[in-house]
Structure 1
Amino acid sequence: MQIVDHRLKPGWYRPSPHQGGALDSPSLLVMHFTVSGAGAKGVSDYFVSPQAKASAHVVVGRDGDVRQVVPFNVKAWHAGRSIWRGRPNCNDYSIGIEIDNWGRLIRTADGQVRSSTSRVLDPALAVELTHKNESRPSLWEVYGETQLSALAEVTRCILAAYPTITEIVGHDDISPGRKTDPGPAFPMSRFVSLVEGRGDSQPLFRTVIASRLNARGGPGVQFDTLGVFLAGTRLEVLYDSPGPWAQVKGALEGGGAVTAWVSDQYLA
C-alpha cells in the first residue's frame, strides 16, 4: 500500500461531501472510534451520505478493511471543537482516522455486555479500564490484532507521505472532556511500536528515574495515591498518549502489582 495523489493505492475510495479546504502540511494524526458495529463499509457509507455532516479521511474496520472518503490534502470534518498545544481548530492541520469500535460498553443487570445501542457482545471483547480524563473504570471494547495491523500499515503510509506530521494523538487529547475516543483500550504505546516496526506483540516498558514516584488512581494530582514506585522500577506502559500522565502496571514499594497513573516526566 502507498499514497498516490493523496489517496491510498490500492484501496477503496469514495468521496464524502463533508469536506472542504486545502490541508497543507498536516502536523497531527488523530485517532477516533466510531461507536459502531457497522464495519468499515457501514461507516464509510454513512460518511458519504448527505445526513452525516461529518467525515474522516480513512475508516479501518475490525477485519482490517480500509476505506478512504477524503483525500489527505483536503480537510475532513472529524475533530469538531478542538485545540492542541494552544492551536485551535484541529481539522485545519490534522488527518483523522476512524477505527471501527464500540468504545464504552455497558454490563446490564442480566450480566450481559452490551453496546450503547444495546447490542449484546461477547464478554471477551470487553476490558475494564479507567479513562485518563475520568476517575471511575468502565468497560471498553478491545482493539483486535487484525485491525491494529491494518491501522499500523495505513499510519506508516501517511507518515511517509506527510513528514510534517510529528504527533499521533487521540480525539480525547484534542477535545478533553467532550470526547473519549479512542479510549483507554486503544494501546497507544504498543501501536506506536507497531508503526515503528518494533514488533506486534511486544509491550512497551519504561523505567522510573525519580527516587520515589507516586502511583495514582487517575491522571492528576487530585487522585488518591495507591503507593510508590521506587527508582529503577520497570513499568509496563498501558496508555501513553501525549501529555503529562501515563498509565502503567508494575510492582509497588513493599510488593504487590498495581495498575496506576504516574507523571510521565519521571519515566525514561
Structure 2
Amino acid sequence: MLKPASIKVSNHFNPRPDEQDISLLVIHNISLPAGQFATSYVEDLFLGQLDIEAHPSFVDLQGLRVSAHLFIRRDGEVIQFVPFNQRAWHAGVSSFAGRENCNDFSIGIEMEGTDDLAYTSEQYSVLIAVTDAIQKAYPKVTHERICGHCDIAPGRKTDPGKAFDWQRFLSALEK
C-alpha cells in the first residue's frame, strides 16, 4: 500500500531539460548526524535550513544545496521535497550507461539509513510501493534502470550500501 507523502517544498531544484525523459531511479541513503535517525536535520538540509552549528559534522555541509524527490524514514513515513517532473539535486557528478548528469533524467529517493545498518521492513514496503507507482507513471524507469548512488558515482559515493537488500527490493516489484 502506498502511503501518502508529506509535502515539504525544497528550493533546491530546477526544471528538467526534458520532462518526458525521466528514465532512471536512484536509491540513496542519508542520516544526520551520520547514524542518527528520527531527527529533523535531513529535512532541514533539503530545505536549506540546516543549522551547521547543531553538530560538529555539519560544518562540511555549509552552503550545500542538495535535495531529493523523496525521503523515506525508518518508520515508513514519506516526505516529498521536489515534484517528479522537476530536477532534484541528488546525484551530483554522475553517469549512467554513458550518459552524464543523472539529475537531468532521474528520480532520487533517499532512505534514512547508513551503508552498514539494515533498512526496515517499513522502508522496503514503502519503497516497493513508490517504485511500482513511479514505474507506472514513468515507463522508461524499467527494473534495469534502477540503481544505487554508488552505481552512478563510483569511487565518490557508496550508498545505499551493502546493507541494502537489492534482491528483496527488486524481486518484490511488479513485473
Alignment RMSD? 2.0
Specify whether residues 80 and 194 from structure 1 end up closer, same or farther in structure 2 by C-alpha distance, changes over 3 A only.
Answer: same
- Matching of residue 10 in structure 1 with residue 4 in structure 2: yes
Question: Alpha-carbon deviations, 1:15-58, whole Å to 9, x = none?
Answer: 10100012432110000000333438542232012554000000
Aligned counterpart, 2:140:
164
Question: Alpha-carbon deviations, 1:77-112, whole Å to 9, x = none?
Answer: 000000111100000110000000022xxxxxxxxx
CA contact (8 A) 2:114 2:159 kept: no
CA contact (8 A) 2:28 2:109 kept: yes
After superposition, where does 1:118-267 map in structure 2 within 5 Å? 140-166=116-142, 167-196=145-174
Specify whether residues 152 and 41 from structure 1 end up closer, same or farther in structure 2 by C-alpha distance, changes over 3 A only.
Answer: farther
AA partner of residue 31 (structure 2)? V
Return the index of the structure with the highest Cα Rg.
1
- Matching of residue 93 in structure 1 with residue 105 in structure 2: yes
Deviation at 1:151, TM superposition (A): 1.2
AA partner of residue 44 (structure 1)? E
More helix by share: 2
Question: Within 2, Cα distance between the matches of 1:102 and 1:10?
Answer: 24
Q: Which among 6, 16, 20 is matched to residue 24 of structure 1? A: 20
In structure 1, runs of 5+ residues without a counterpart are: 3-8, 104-139, 198-268
Task: Report the secondary structure of 2:67's partner residue.
Answer: coil
Question: Within 2, Cα distance between the matches of 1:154 and 1:172?
Answer: 21
Question: Alpha-carbon deviations, 1:160-184, whole Å to 9, x = none?
Answer: 1111212110000000011000011
Deviation at 1:75, TM superposition (A): 0.3
Question: Within 2, Cα distance between the matches of 1:195 and 1:82?
Answer: 25
CA contact (8 A) 1:58 1:98 kept: yes
In structure 2, runs of 5+ residues without a counterpart are: 50-62
Aligned length: 155
Q: Which has the higher contact order (CA 8 A, sep 6+)?
A: 2
CA contact (8 A) 1:40 1:59 kept: no
Question: Within 2, Cα distance between the matches of 1:14 and 1:85?
Answer: 32
Question: Within 1, Cα distance between the matches of 2:169 and 2:149?
Answer: 16
Aligned counterpart, 1:78:
90
AA partner of residue 15 (structure 1)? V
More strand by share: 1
Aligned counterpart, 1:200:
none
Deviation at 1:69, TM superposition (A): 0.2
Question: Within 2, Cα distance between the matches of 1:40 and 1:52?
Answer: 19
Task: Report the secondary structure of 1:24's partner residue.
Answer: helix
CA contact (8 A) 1:31 1:169 kept: yes
Aligned counterpart, 1:45:
44
Q: Percent identity?
A: 46
CA contact (8 A) 1:40 1:66 kept: no
AA partner of residue 29 (structure 2)? F
